[in-house]
Amino acid sequence: MVDAHICAALGFEARQRLARLLDWGVQVQKGNVISVTNWTSEHNRSMPALLSNLAMVARLLSVAPSELHARLARNALEDPVAEVRLRNLTYLVAPETRTPPELVARTVLGLFGDVHLPVRRLAAEHAGVHGHAVLRAMAADSTIELAARMKAALGLARPPLPDIEGLRALLTESQEPMLVYAALSGIDAAIDAGAGAALFEAVLRCAESEHEAVRAAAARALGVVAQPRGELVLMRLLSDASSDVQEASAHALGAFGSVAAVEPLLPLAQSLVRQRVRQAARGAIGRIQSRLGGAEAGQLSLSDPYDLAGAVDVADTSANIRVGALSLAEEQAAGRARARGHQVEAGQTDEDEAGASNREERARARRARQGDE
């Protein structure tokens, strides 16, 4: 709040008067305005003007709590410096400033025509449905920088009133993949506002995009929408050529996937090539396990990470094994134990045979010595 008060205090008029005082040799030290000068007869005429300016600056720099919101709004609307307008608007709409909603509404509506794109976009984002047309126009304007258009696309998903039609149009009609990516990246907020079902079909189409960044963003969005049809698409995307798409799909399946997702996750969980993908797949299997709660047939559990990290047990090894149950970790561990046992037995047999042969040779040597004697 201290910064908001400073921003409100340093309006255009206050800055102008401070600049004039600085030209007269006035200094600002530790929050105090100080004037040190050698008095001459010239000061008899200039001192009244200096004192008048000092008094005006003191008044302008003093912002009472009851004046804060109005001063921020005036600066946002009237200051000739674009960055100053943006800073005041940012503080005005911040939740911690607690600006009355009606003052925010009046201020942002007055900034729809601002020449500074960040001011116009921020105003539109806080104008509810009234700002949707402004954001759509910014996102569609090919004459402005792509980064600014992407921010406008993100703004369409802003709660509590996301622009569902605007988002759907971007996802299905835009020829600019980065705009689609931005819209998908902001969908979390829109879905939280209840728009998941309305955007589901558009997100499914994005999962077929030729651009891997769009497919990866679509996979993340499907994890938030959490629809059964989305699980099938995510399972297919696990075999995508892009590791980013595979990783995003694994994370999404971990968020809501069923036991059916385990089989396509297993190859990635056991892969030795892409560590991030492997970790995402193993984490997804672990989250699916936690949702099952260890109570279902075909349940999952991760093996000892120091033995077979990321292996999967589909069955409770402490209970009677049911038909179709599978215990990969235990089976592989048992296989290794059997192999070690065979090695020991083979070694022991060799030793026994060698010992018998040596005993026979020693016996023949004794008999030969006795015959010589």
Average predicted confidence (pLDDT) for the chain: 81
Q: Which residues contact 28 (CB under 8 A, 6 or more apart)?
A: 18, 34
Burial class (CB in 10 A: 0-12, 13-18, 19+), 268: buried
**pLDDT at residue 108 above 90?**
yes
Mean pLDDT of 180-205: 83
Write down the CATH superfamily of domain 230-316.
Answer: Leucine-rich Repeat Variant (1.25.10.10)
Does residue 138 contact residue 148 with C-beta atoms inside 8 Å? yes
Report residue 346's pLDDT band, with 50, 70 and 90 as the boundaries: very low
Q: Name the token pair of 367.
A: 């008999």
User: 24: which strand partners?
Assistant: none
pLDDT at position 349, please?
A: 47
Whether pTM exceeds 0.75: no
Q: Name the token pair of 66.
A: 């009851």
Sheet containing 326-327, strands listed edge to edge, beginning at the edge strand earlier in sequence: 300-302, 312-314, 326-327
Kindly state the percentage of the chain with pLDDT values over 70.
76
Mean pLDDT of 36-62: 77
pLDDT at position 357, please?
A: 55
**pLDDT at residue 143 above 50?**
yes
Report residue 145's pLDDT band, with 50, 70 and 90 as the boundaries: very high
Report residue 195's pLDDT band, with 50, 70 and 90 as the boundaries: low
pLDDT, tens digit (0-9, with 9 covering 90-100), for 317-330: 333 433 333 344 44
Least confident interval from 185-199, 300-314, 355-369 = 300-314
How many angstroms separate the CA atoms of 329 and 282, rounded? 14
Report residue 367's pLDDT band, with 50, 70 and 90 as the boundaries: low
Mean pLDDT of 334-357: 49
pLDDT at position 360, please?
A: 61
pLDDT at position 311, please?
A: 41
Q: Name the token pair of 334.
A: 């048992």
Long-range contacts (CB closer than 8 Å, 24 or more residues apart) made by 256-261: 256/223, 256/226, 256/231, 257/231, 257/284, 257/288, 258/231, 258/288, 259/288, 259/292, 259/296, 259/298, 259/300, 259/314, 260/231, 260/235, 261/231, 261/234, 261/235, 261/288
**pLDDT at residue 337 above 60?**
no
Mean pLDDT of 170-191: 90
